[in-house]
Amino acid sequence: MSGGREHPHDWLRAFLPLGAMRGDTFLPHGAGVLIVDRPFVWLVTAAAVLDALGGQRCCAFVPRQQGHGLLDLTTSHERLGLGWLRHASAGLAACLLPIEPSFDLRAFAVGQCARLADVLPMQPAVSVGCAYGLDTGDAARMAPLVFDGIVAGVEAKAQRILTTAPVVPRNLGAPLLLASPYGGPVQLAGILLGERQLTEPDPRALPLRLGVAMTVDAAFELIHGPEGKQLRERAARLSAANGPAPGAVP
């Protein structure tokens, strides 16, 4: 985890493309966002990303101090005896991210997350994603792009946020951030799960698409729940026996 003065664009290093490898080709299936709940770093994504992977091994492209590198999460989990947690009703999944000294990452701390009660309509919001359809070279290693919008509404009972910021194809699980184009703090508000299309019977009316994000509150429910506690305890035992815990912040 790199330090130093923070700039808004630094938070793009909390975004990780997720997918599978077919030979030497990276096949994107989604994305995830990093949350630090000391001493551990969690990777949170949409459960639909894991479902789309099926039996394929889940890999992440991770920013490093020199370029990007592929991290085989499935192999790491098998080696360490760890795995994914799922929040069935929220549609989220999370795992501890094995940390290496060469990583150049950011992760949102609890105080840098916008809880449900703080998310209001008309707040500036951005979605993040890799535009794999653009002809920009190696898509898996390209910098993520930012797409602006606002918070369109909040469904408090369901813990969902509606936003005009688009959900980029093959980027389910990416973060929804509260961020102003004029600068200021960047906050993690939610994890993008998909889109909702509003249509009218009149064929002349264009359909309206809204992004749907699960609030970060649900992510904390998952990692602070009983299964999350078991995973942290497992990682702590590994740390006591073998050195730094998987996912632990140096």
Q: What is the DSSP string of 26-67?
A: EEEEEEEEEEEETTEEEEEEEHHHHHHHTTSPPEEEEEBSSS
- The answer, yes or no, to whether residue 118 has pLDDT greater than 70, is yes
- Over range 201-219, report the average pLDDT: 91
Q: E strands within the chain?
A: 15-22, 25-37, 40-46, 59-63, 68-72, 85-87, 92-96, 124-129, 145-155, 160-163, 175-178, 187-198, 208-215
What's the Cα-to-Cα distance from 198 to each of 163, 168, 206, rounded to whole Å? 13, 18, 9
On whether residue 142 sits in a domain, the answer given is yes
Q: Which of 92, 87, 10, 8 is nearest to 47 (CA)?
A: 92
Calculate what percentage of the chain has a pLDDT beyond 90: 64
Integer Cα distance of 95 and 45 in angstroms: 9
Please tell me whether residues 146 and 237 are part of one structural domain: no
Please tell me whether residues 198 and 124 are part of one structural domain: yes
What's the Cα-to-Cα distance from 8 to each of 5, 14, 18, 106, 182, rounded to whole Å? 10, 11, 23, 11, 10
Q: Which residue has the higher pLDDT, 87 or 25?
A: 87
Continuous segment of H or E residues that includes residue 226: helix 226-242
Please tell me whether residues 101 and 141 are part of one structural domain: no
Q: Which residue has the higher pLDDT, 9 or 105?
A: 105
Q: What is the pLDDT of residue 241?
A: 61
- Over range 197-204, report the average pLDDT: 82
Q: How far is CA 28 from the centre of its chain?
A: 14
On whether residue 3 sits in a domain, the answer given is no
pLDDT band at 243 (very low <50, low <70, confident <90, very high): low
3-state secondary structure of 132: coil
Calculate what percentage of the chain has a pLDDT beyond 70: 89
3-state secondary structure of 157: coil
Q: What is the pLDDT of residues 149-190, one digit of tens each?
A: 999 999 999 999 999 999 999 999 999 999 987 888 999 999
Q: Which of 82, 132, 56 is nearest to 248 (CA)?
A: 82
Integer Cα distance of 128 and 6 in angstroms: 18
Q: What is the pLDDT of residues 12-55, one digit of tens each?
A: 999 999 999 988 888 999 999 999 998 899 999 999 999 999 98
Which residue do the tokens 């370029």 mark? Answer: 67
Please tell me whether residues 117 and 81 are part of one structural domain: no
Both tokens of residue 86?
Answer: 């799922």
Please tell me whether residues 138 and 163 are part of one structural domain: yes
Please tell me whether residues 201 and 124 are part of one structural domain: yes
- The answer, yes or no, to whether residue 133 has pLDDT greater than 90, is no
Q: What is the pLDDT of residue 69?
A: 82
- The answer, yes or no, to whether residue 204 has pLDDT greater than 90, is no
The CATH number of residue 122's host domain is: 2.40.10.10
Please tell me whether residues 55 and 17 are part of one structural domain: yes
pLDDT band at 76 (very low <50, low <70, confident <90, very high): very high
Q: What is the pLDDT of residue 5?
A: 43
Integer Cα distance of 102 and 112 in angstroms: 24
Residues 76 and 27: beta-carbon distance below 8 Å: no
Range of the domain at 16: 8-108+220-242
- Over range 51-61, report the average pLDDT: 93
On whether residue 1 sits in a domain, the answer given is no
Q: What is the pLDDT of residue 2?
A: 40
Domain total in the chain: 2
Q: What is the pLDDT of residue 156?
A: 96
pTM score of the predicted model: 0.90
